[in-house]
Amino acid sequence: MTAKSKSPFDRIIDTIEWLAAMFVGIVAANIFIAVMLRKFFDTSIPDSYDFGRLLLGILIFWGIAATSYRGGHITVDLLWTHASPRYKRWIDVFATLVLLLVVTVQTIMLFDKVANTYRDNVQTYDLNLPTWPFFAVAWFGDVCAVLLIAIRTWRLIADPEALAPTTGGGH
């Protein structure tokens, strides 16, 4: 499929996966720079630890978004491998619906955490920066996960051929 013929869903999926990859790079750069500054210049980035843990949280939730659509998460295939193609599809649909429910509830609860962090004015240790924007970016990653799982569910039901390369490991 060429870039011109990609559906809007495929463009959304690609954008979310690129954002998740970008957060991996940011976390790696933060760690690398902090270690190099400590080792060779006996100094550190202010709030490096806070940034590291907050960015890692962001990375986790965007990683959930990236793996949920592709079916790259951990699976148990004992029942699925012995099922007929029809039952495999139903197992995939059921498992994806359960995942959609769980991640939706998680997203709602994470929004409460964003709101509480904002309301409580939680700040970083050195620079006293508000931490709620980091929580908000993580929450948006969870929103993207819900969106991608919903797209996956729709495709499993309406157009399973669109997921042909990923079914069999995404249940």
Count up the domains in the chain and report the number. Answer: 1
Residue 123's DSSP bridge partners are 130
Could you list the residue range(s) of the whole structural domain that residue 21 is in? Answer: 8-163
Residue linked to tokens 């495929």: 10
Establish if 93 belongs to a structural domain. Answer: yes
Residue 130's DSSP bridge partners are 123
Residues 6+ apart with CB under 8 A from 8: none
74-86 average pLDDT score: 78
CA 44 – CA 46 distance, rounded (Å): 6
Establish if 58 belongs to a structural domain. Answer: yes
Residues 6+ apart with CB under 8 A from 32: none
Establish if 1 belongs to a structural domain. Answer: no
| 72, pLDDT greater than 50 | yes
Establish if 169 belongs to a structural domain. Answer: no
Establish if 69 belongs to a structural domain. Answer: yes
Q: Of all residues in the chain, what percent carry a pLDDT higher than 90?
A: 48
pLDDT digit string (tens) for 12-55?
888 888 888 898 899 899 999 999 999 999 998 899 999 999 99
Establish if 171 belongs to a structural domain. Answer: no
Establish if 40 belongs to a structural domain. Answer: yes
List, as one string, the DSSP characters of the chain: --STT--HHHHHHHHHHHHHHHHHHHHHHHHHHHHHHHHHHS---TTHHHHHHHHHHHHHHHHHHHHHHHT-S----HHHHTS-HHHHHHHHHHHHHHHHHHHHHHHHHHHHHHHHHHHTT-B-TTT--BSHHHHHHHHHHHHHHHHHHHHHHHHHHH-GGGGTTTTTS--
Q: How far apart are the first and last CA of the chain?
A: 25
Establish if 3 belongs to a structural domain. Answer: no
Taking the model in full, what pTM does it have?
0.81
Which of 55-59, 116-120, 138-142 is the least confident region?
55-59
Name which of 145, 170, 167 is nearest 17 in CA terms.
Answer: 145
| 73, pLDDT greater than 70 | no
